[in-house]
């Protein structure tokens, strides 16, 4: 990453002059990110779901009435919750169109063409195949509803004073929820439609080429040469998404990041990266812009509303593990590179690939170092996603403790969802909460790492670093990343959690910035692969120190998270745990 | 940029082809084989059944996280109401 910038038009010296604002990659990543965010705000904010506030009020009244009438979560409580969860901008026509346009390729089993093209005949065949399954699930959901209603009625008749009846009602309501969710998924399969995504993909390629090309031109590069090379990089990104969408790869959690690096490396280490592609191999440019967009997804207010015990676990354990891991890597493992050290520790302690990207960019790690951290994270994630739920079940650990443990330790966010769901709903809720809080930490970690690198690691021995020196050296895109996060957190708070959920979370973010950010990270990983040599990568892995560091950091994380999760959920906040 | 100019063209394209075959073998032979291991298959069945994107990088990429967030938020809100009533 750091050495790659030398291959592109030299940036003017960073003396803080005004010209820097229009001629450096860091600032252009901020301008482009902000422009795209403003565009998403303009699209979504004036188009809220119809009668949004009235529907929120109705749902909240329903929730309040259900809470007042029973000490357990009743069917009416869940109905009101479901009504609220459906209020999304992404469910409106505009949101659907944008989401469809920027969507990644579809899932497929054996024919990769189905990732981008599927005819009417196949759609009809898939629908016909899904109908019988849907009928069975619909019947099961109806039966589960009747049973749950009967159990709730019995508990209500006893004035909710009989603990046995209450517990039975809760169990039956949980079973109805599961059957209901299964019916929804089966129903979705009966609504398959034909698609041809090739035109959309060409459109996405043109939009992104234009967006990034403008910046390249302003920084002194050739717009035409960039666009030409970009088509190739984008094509490899599409291939990576296609590989990640293969049904079995999706189950294993082998996502676009791994495929993009692999495909890029295969090309660069076999036939070689074509010279005409090189102007578009802009790892840092893509990553930094993607990170500015990611800032919109980091909403600080959310973590307050979704769980104090989770904050306790995530914000106490995560920095501790990061700092201890980094210290051990320097002191005892004698890691040859501090940037590799901190990138690996961030991946292991925060949340895998996304944390590695942010940290590597903040400390200007080399592209091979990021590749190594991502690779290690993917391997450990795959092992832990399967091993941890199996272990938790085998030892009979409770769902909440197990969920908290997995949420705090399994790196990849998707793998946490998979492992949590394997244990049950409560485990999923707990693990999801903790992982979301960890996700939110990325911004703080990136900022602290950037500051630490500027003030301590990169300074001359014995020299004092003044404020202006810090400003000159500080990676400016981090300010864009944090700034966007703070602005979105304020907007989200000002709107309130319910309106924010519909307009920001399920509008501007999920229907806009998230889709573009995914493409940008994928382009960045393709660029990393296209610029990486197997020999250089092997050099960084010399002596197996990165593996040892990852294993230690993750081992320490496992022990500390388990202890703090138990302390938090069962000693300090047991009254909150009871309500989950 | 990584370049393999020292190898003859046939060797470079042969390596590319071999890599493609390797990817295919992993996807359609190795991965399905590992899936047949009971502990792996059991976990992956849940992922398939619940349609979870196990490769998601961030919480916004997972629909079940959104439901979990709403559920936890409302549960905590209930808790706040209870605490307020108690006080």
Give residue-wise pLDDT tens across range A476-488.
899 999 999 999 9
Mutation pick from B46, B59, B81 vs chain A, by most beta carbons of A within 10 Å, is B59
A248, A302, A579 ranked by CB distance to B31: nearest: A248
∠ CA(A515), CA(A520), CA(A521), 5° rounding? 100
CB neighbourhood size of B43 (10 A): 24
CA dist., res. A241 & res. A256, Å (int): 5
Distances (CA, A) of A306 to A270, A314, A397, A580, B71: 49, 13, 23, 11, 9
Domain containing residue B81: 53-87
* B58 and B41, same domain (yes or no): no
pLDDT-derived band at B87 (thresholds 50, 70, 90) equals very low
State the pLDDT at residue A308.
Answer: 76
Residue A329 tokens, joined = 């890597």
Among residues A159, A471, A438, the alpha carbon closest in space to that of A320 is found at A438
Minimal Cα–Cα distance from B66 to chain A, Å?
9
A63, A267, A308 ranked by CB distance to B74: nearest: A63
State the pLDDT at residue B7.
Answer: 82
* B14 and B43, same domain (yes or no): yes
Whether B43 is in a domain gets the answer yes
Interface of B with A in 8-27 (CB under 8 A): 12-13, 15-16, 19-20, 23, 27
CA dist., res. A426 & res. A129, Å (int): 32
Contact indicator for A17, A381 with CB cutoff of 8 Å: no
Whether B2 is in a domain gets the answer no
State the pLDDT at residue B2.
Answer: 45
CA dist., res. A422 & res. A390, Å (int): 9
Give residue-wise pLDDT tens across range B5-32.
578 889 999 999 999 999 999 999 999 9
> Which chain A residues have a beta carbon less than 8 Å from that of B82?
579
* B45 and B62, same domain (yes or no): no
> Which chain A residues have a beta carbon less than 8 Å from that of B56?
255, 412-414, 417
* B14 and B47, same domain (yes or no): yes
pLDDT-derived band at A533 (thresholds 50, 70, 90) equals confident
Whether B63 contacts chain A with CB within 8 A: no
Q: DSSP secondary structure string, A393-428? A: HHHT--HHHHHHHHHHH-SSHHHHHHHHHHH-HHHH
Contact between A306 and B74 using a beta-carbon 8 Å cutoff: no
- A172 has pLDDT over 60: yes
B12, B53, B64 ranked by CB distance to A272: nearest: B12
Whether B3 is in a domain gets the answer no
CB neighbourhood size of A302 (10 A): 25
* B57 and B85, same domain (yes or no): yes
State the pLDDT at residue B85.
Answer: 41
> Which chain A residues have a beta carbon less than 8 Å from that of B1?
7, 268, 272-273, 275, 278, 281, 530-531
Helix (H), strand (E) at residue A241: helix A223-244
Residue A376 tokens, joined = 């290690």
* B44 and B59, same domain (yes or no): no
CA dist., res. A441 & res. A319, Å (int): 9
Minimal Cα–Cα distance from A106 to chain B, Å?
13
Angle between helices A545-566 and A399-409 (to 10 degrees): 150
Contact between B55 and A497 using a beta-carbon 8 Å cutoff: no
Whether B85 contacts chain A with CB within 8 A: no
Minimal Cα–Cα distance from A213 to chain B, Å?
20
CA dist., res. A245 & res. A146, Å (int): 38
Helix (H, G, I), strand (E, B) or coil at A46: coil
Of A24-28, A303-307, A463-467, A562-566, give the lowest mean pLDDT range: A303-307
- Residue B7 class from Cβ within 10 Å (0-12 exposed, 13-18 middle, 19+ buried)? middle
State the pLDDT at residue A9.
Answer: 46
pLDDT-derived band at A305 (thresholds 50, 70, 90) equals low
Greater pLDDT, A361 or B75: A361
Angle between helices A283-295 and A514-530 (to 10 degrees): 160
Contact between A579 and B76 using a beta-carbon 8 Å cutoff: yes
Among residues A366, A368, A319, the alpha carbon closest in space to that of A345 is found at A319
B1, B15, B27 ranked by CB distance to A246: nearest: B27
A268, A428, A510 ranked by CB distance to B68: nearest: A428
Kindly state the percentage of chain A with pLDDT values over 90.
Answer: 74
Q: Structural domain boundaries of chain A?
A: 301-475+533-579
* B57 and B29, same domain (yes or no): no
A248, A390, A432 ranked by CB distance to B64: nearest: A432
A256, A302, A386 ranked by CB distance to B39: nearest: A386
Among residues A71, A40, A112, the alpha carbon closest in space to that of A503 is found at A40
Q: What are phi and psi of A117, to 5 degrees?
A: -135, 135
> Which chain A residues have a beta carbon less than 8 Å from that of B48?
247, 251
Q: How many domains does the structure of chain B reveal? A: 2
State the pLDDT at residue A16.
Answer: 56
CA dist., res. A466 & res. A447, Å (int): 18
Whether B19 is in a domain gets the answer yes
Distances (CA, A) of A499 to A51, A52, A88, A122, A414: 11, 8, 9, 39, 26
- CA A40 to chain CA mean position, Å: 19
Nearest CA in chain B to A427: B68
Contact between A250 and B53 using a beta-carbon 8 Å cutoff: yes
Whether B62 is in a domain gets the answer yes
């Amino acid at each position: 990453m750091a050495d790659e910038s030398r291959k592109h038009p030299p940036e003017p010296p960073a003396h803080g002059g005004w010209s820097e604002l229009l001629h450096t990659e860091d600032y252009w990543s901020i301008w482009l990110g902000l422009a795209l965010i403003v565009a998403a705000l303009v699209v979504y904010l004036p188009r809220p779901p119809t009668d949004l506030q009235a529907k929120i009020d109705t749902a909240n009244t329903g929730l309040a009435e259900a809470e007042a009438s029973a000490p357990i979560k009743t069917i009416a409580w869940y109905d009101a919750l479901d009504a609220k969860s459906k209020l999304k901008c992404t469910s409106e026509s505009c949101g659907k169109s944008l989401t469809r346009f920027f969507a990644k390729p579809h899932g497929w089993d054996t024919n990769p063409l189905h990732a981008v093209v599927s005819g009417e005949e196949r759609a009809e065949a898939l629908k016909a195949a899904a109908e019988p399954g849907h009928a069975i699930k619909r019947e099961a959901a109806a039966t589960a509803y009747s049973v749950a209603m009967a159990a709730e009625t019995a508990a209500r008749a006893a004035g909710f004073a009989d603990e046995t009846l209450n517990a039975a009602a809760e169990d039956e309501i949980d079973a109805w929820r599961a059957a209901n969710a299964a019916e929804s998924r089966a129903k979705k399969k009966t609504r398959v439609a034909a698609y041809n995504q090739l035109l959309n993909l060409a459109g996405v390629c043109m939009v992104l080429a234009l967006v990034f090309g403008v910046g390249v031109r302003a920084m002194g590069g050739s717009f035409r040469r960039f666009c030409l090379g970009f088509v190739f990089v984008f094509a490899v990104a599409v291939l990576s998404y296609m590989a990640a969408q293969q049904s079995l790869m999706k189950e294993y959690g082998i996502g676009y990041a791994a495929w993009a690096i692999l495909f890029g490396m295969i090309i660069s280490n076999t036939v070689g990266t074509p010279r005409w592609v090189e102007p578009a191999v802009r790892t840092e440019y893509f990553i930094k812009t993607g990170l500015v967009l990611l800032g919109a997804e980091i909403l600080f207010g959310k973590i307050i509303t979704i769980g104090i015990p989770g904050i306790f676990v995530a914000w106490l354990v995560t920095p501790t593990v990061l700092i201890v891991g980094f210290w051990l890597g320097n002191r005892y493992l004698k890691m040859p590179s501090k940037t590799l050290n901190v990138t690996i520790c961030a991946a292991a302690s925060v949340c895998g690939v996304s944390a590695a990207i942010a940290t590597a960019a903040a400390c200007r790690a080399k592209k091979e170092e990021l590749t190594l951290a991502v690779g290690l994270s993917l391997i450990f994630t795959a092992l832990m996603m399967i091993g941890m739920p199996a272990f938790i079940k085998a030892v009979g650990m409770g769902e909440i403790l197990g969920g908290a443990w997995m949420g705090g330790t399994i790196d990849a966010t998707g793998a946490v969802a998979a492992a949590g769901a394997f244990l049950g709903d409560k485990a999923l809720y707990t693990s999801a909460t903790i992982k979301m809080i960890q996700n939110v930490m990325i911004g703080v970690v990136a900022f602290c790492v950037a500051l630490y690198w500027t003030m301590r690691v990169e300074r001359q021995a014995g020299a004092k670093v003044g404020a202006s020196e810090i400003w000159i050296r500080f990676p400016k895109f981090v300010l864009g990343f944090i700034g966007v996060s703070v602005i979105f957190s304020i907007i989200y708070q000002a709107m309130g959690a319910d309106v924010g959920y519909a307009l920001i979370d399920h509008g501007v973010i999920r229907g806009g910035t998230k889709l573009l950010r995914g493409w940008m990270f994928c382009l960045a990983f393709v660029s990393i692969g296209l610029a990486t040599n197997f020999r250089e990568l092997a050099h960084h892995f010399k002596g197996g120190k990165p593996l040892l560091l990852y294993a230690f950091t993750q081992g320490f994380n496992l022990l500390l998270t388990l202890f703090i999760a138990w302390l938090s959920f069962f000693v300090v906040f047991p009254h909150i745990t009871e309500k989950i | 940029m990584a370049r393999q100019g020292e190898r003859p063209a046939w060797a470079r394209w042969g390596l590319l082809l071999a890599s493609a075959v390797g990817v295919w073998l992993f996807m359609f032979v190795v991965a399905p084989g590992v899936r047949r291991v009971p502990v792996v298959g059991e976990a992956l069945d849940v992922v398939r059944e619940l349609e979870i994107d196990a490769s998601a990088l961030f919480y916004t990429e997972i629909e079940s996280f959104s439901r979990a967030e709403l559920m936890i938020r409302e549960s905590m809100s209930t808790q706040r109401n209870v605490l307020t009533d108690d006080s």
